Structure 1
């Protein structure tokens, strides 16, 4: 999206800024973003109920999460091109409708296959809501007040992950799992009405070339690799594992070749030539893998091993998001003074400690021990996420900085899908191994607990690798940071 887009600040230079003037369109964007963020947190807590309801297994139902995140990764890089071509307001409203329709269909799903398909539809709509919404807020607010407006926007974005599992738990326990999706219907309608009435009209701009080949290869590569990893958890020599990994690997190689040769690539892979950028983004991926692995595994452990209800589980995992939100502003101020390396080292160490604690859980583990681990993990997440994201942006080559956010956002969703698929496959495989070891006379709960312990231990080991990597982070040169600050444009939030 070009920097002179039709969306203009609601107050011009010399005018007195009034929050009242920007509140209606800001509210429309906030409602839409809350709906999408909530949906990304409510499903994990409902996984045991979905497995039971559809009479299926974890390996199958996890695709309701994986398919959703892969769909997000497919459309995030297209947000900028779509808004340039058709206008930001129009695309924002269309994506709200698509997400809301997908939510309704998910609530009406009659089989796991239908649920997975409808979650993909949700993801295709939801992937553009946040980047377009953030860019519209950036354009609507005057430059001198953008920080405070972004702060207002950030409050519900932090609260949604905290209350999502609790809302999900209540609906699953006292209403029906269908309502974790159907509840989006009134929210989506409200977001559409507010957006239709209050968002300023934006005219289409001259758009750049669309990388159609890259757009086709990326979903094939990532989906097939995820499928191969999922099948490999049962048997790496199986036809499904070999087929998925082979097709996915070939598609990934072709995608990389195409992107490096494109003048306007879907994802700008040339940024990986910067070693500082590469180290930073790998650490970001490790944090994301730990975060989403934990948000999947902890509810499964609490409900399947400890016997807690979905609502109780929601209350237990809630402190993770609250502690992360508490640490984010603190880590932001510390980052300005000491840089990313000490924060990443300390934060990753704390996350690893939490994972090692969780790797020791069993049937008799006191719940306070789990809550402590959850809180510690949240503090670690809050200490690392913002500093690492900012470090990645600062480390990008100056001529490619406007292409960084689409790449990191899309890659994050791909990493999440691989984390969910890979850890689920690892958990299932190790439970089966322990079941075979104890035999028919053993206690199945023992095998389940051992499988969870192994999976948490694997995650702790991965985070430990990140701790070592954090020691070689380098602070970008001040001239580069200043240049990047001048070049940052809302278009970079949407795929340009």
Structure 2
């Protein structure tokens, strides 16, 4: 075969897979955009429904918990009903739930509809990535899977801007209604281009694990929320903490006994894996616990409009994108340790600077601090996750992804709940005639919590051992 013929064959393979790739990427973009579009909308939703930050944060927390609940089930549903059908059903459920969110009349209704939305959106990424991986030529998998990272890069940039524009010039309902046209396109593309497959019956569903896991994690997140609001000795705090602890112990016991567990916990026997995933958790809590605070501070303390708040967080998204590119190259050449140190150093330094945040902080200071949080995010998230996957025992690698993806969502929920709960308690403890300066200082004090998690991540990265990557 001539070189020209080989090139034509490669060209043909890429053209053949492109519709599948675009279908999956659009579905992922839809779900990720909805995650990033919410942060700027929080102050508007607080005003619309006349609720506190402590209450409205459940609009985001409930969504991420719902995502984490269904991610481990994606493999079983794909095997039982085929990947294409489940991808399409997930898109439909997500779009229908988005319409319900737009029609919500109370904060409670919005939270319930966001849970349904999360249940739909949770399977889109794991099912889509698995389909693309199967149809991609082996020699092209790296670059093709990299294209699927585009939604992760574009959504954080477009989300805050789009949210700010829709809220300021139309109304908050459109942050959900915008999902309808995108979802319809994603539906028809998936129906036409995604490959067909036959349902299998090989995987056995871990029913008990599927019940215990959501109860355990939701109860523990709720206990942290109640502790931030009413203290650790409050009856609801103790009750939810006790329920969460008992069900978590039962869940772990059940998983270690199962032949086909919901989450393969035996992988934690690897010290390298355990070290890496704990680092990822600390990083996740620090990141998402702080990111939600940015647009709230800008609108409620600095008095910016939603559109202006969206513009302020663009440098964060841009440096995150740059960080992903630089981090990937450094990871390939030097391994994970250097990248993790640089990323967590950028993150923790920025979070330390934000502990001095107040009503008089300049726009340059705020944007630069946000930007270096984004740089830390870009340098660390994908690279640490790759390290965690590489460090897993070979026989368990295929079963590690549900742990990393679902726990990522759970730790995001913990981060959001911890910081919003603490911020709410700080503001509630202010005098009834408090000033905007005191509210601004409360935000700065809250960043000490995220800094503590960030510096813990930095310390863990110093002792990180490379698994297989890196040309030393």
Confirm or deny a common fold (TM above 0.5): yes
Structure 1 residue 377 corresponds to structure 2 residue 367: no
The answer to whether the 8 Å contact 1:100/1:185 transfers is: yes
Q: State how far apart, in whole Å, the 2-side matches of 1:326 and 1:448 are.
A: 33
CA shift, 1:337, in A, is: 2.1
CA shift, 1:24, in A, is: 2.2
Q: State how far apart, in whole Å, the 2-side matches of 1:64 and 1:229 are.
A: 16
Structure 1 residue 34 corresponds to structure 2 residue 29: yes
Question: Equivalent residue for 1:285?
Answer: 281
Structure 1 residue 156 corresponds to structure 2 residue 155: no
TM-score if structure 2 supplies the norm length? 0.95
2:138 to 139, 143, 148: 143
Q: 1:233 is paired with a residue of what secondary structure?
A: helix
The answer to whether the 8 Å contact 1:339/1:387 transfers is: no
How many matched pairs? 463
Question: Equivalent residue for 1:493?
Answer: none
CA shift, 1:148, in A, is: 2.5
Question: Equivalent residue for 2:465?
Answer: 474
Q: Deviations for 1:327-367, whole angstroms, at most 9, x for unmatched residues?
A: 21221121122221122112111111101111101111111
1:276 to 272, 280, 287: 272
Q: 1:173 is paired with a residue of what secondary structure?
A: helix
Question: Equivalent residue for 1:253?
Answer: 249
Q: State how far apart, in whole Å, the 2-side matches of 1:22 and 1:387 are.
A: 26
Q: State how far apart, in whole Å, the 2-side matches of 1:276 and 1:328 are.
A: 23
**Equivalent residues in 2 for 1:63-462, closer than 5 Å:** 63-235=58-230, 236-433=232-429, 435=430, 439-440=431-432, 443-462=434-453
With 358-367 and 334-343 compared, the bigger mean Cα shift is at 334-343
**Equivalent residues in 2 for 1:7-18, closer than 5 Å:** 15-18=9-12
The answer to whether the 8 Å contact 2:283/2:453 transfers is: no
1:57 to 36, 52, 59: 52
TM-score if structure 1 supplies the norm length? 0.90
Q: 2:359 is paired with a residue of what secondary structure?
A: coil
Q: State how far apart, in whole Å, the 2-side matches of 1:446 and 1:260 are.
A: 52
Indicate the RMSD between aligned Cα atoms, in angstroms: 1.7
Q: State how far apart, in whole Å, the 2-side matches of 1:195 and 1:462 are.
A: 40
Gaps of at least 5 residues in structure 1 are 1-11, 482-496
Q: State how far apart, in whole Å, the 2-side matches of 1:207 and 1:176 are.
A: 48
Q: State how far apart, in whole Å, the 2-side matches of 1:387 and 1:16 are.
A: 29
Q: State how far apart, in whole Å, the 2-side matches of 1:216 and 1:13 are.
A: 51
Question: Equivalent residue for 1:465?
Answer: 456
CA shift, 1:295, in A, is: 1.7
Q: 1:176 is paired with a residue of what secondary structure?
A: coil
Q: State how far apart, in whole Å, the 2-side matches of 1:238 and 1:357 are.
A: 33
Question: Equivalent residue for 2:3?
Answer: none
CA shift, 1:116, in A, is: 0.3
The answer to whether the 8 Å contact 1:431/1:450 transfers is: no
Q: State how far apart, in whole Å, the 1-side matches of 2:57 and 2:99 are.
A: 20
Change over 3 Å in CA distance of 1:223–1:322 after alignment to 2: same
